[in-house]
Amino acid sequence: MGDIVNLRRARKTRAHVKDEEKAQGNRVRFGLSKAERDLAEKSRSLAERRLEAHRLDEAPGDES
């Protein structure tokens, strides 16, 4: 005689494995977590502001 299998638990386990495979594929596809994207955006914004703050203003009549 075979092992007794709880069908509800087997169905949930199968669904969990399927969801995990999909999640792994999405991790590979999209790469960064939200926290990493936010940190990269903040760093990029800070660098842009610093660069803009150090920019020299040109006089309106000075075209040489």
Does 48 reside within a domain?
yes
Does 40 reside within a domain?
yes
Q: How many domains does the chain have?
A: 1
Does 17 reside within a domain?
yes
The pTM score is 0.45
DSSP one-letter string for 11-58 = HHHHHHHHHHHHHHHHHHHH-S-HHHHHHHHHHHHHHHHHHHHTPPPP
Q: Residue 1: which pLDDT band, with cuts at 50, 70 and 90?
A: confident
Integer Cα distance of 53 and 46 in angstroms: 10
The DSSP symbol for 2 reads -
Does 18 reside within a domain?
yes
Integer Cα distance of 11 and 16 in angstroms: 9
Range of the domain at 13: 7-53
Does 2 reside within a domain?
no
Does 62 reside within a domain?
no
Q: Residue 20: which pLDDT band, with cuts at 50, 70 and 90?
A: very high
Give the pLDDT confidence score for residue 30 in this predicted structure. 85
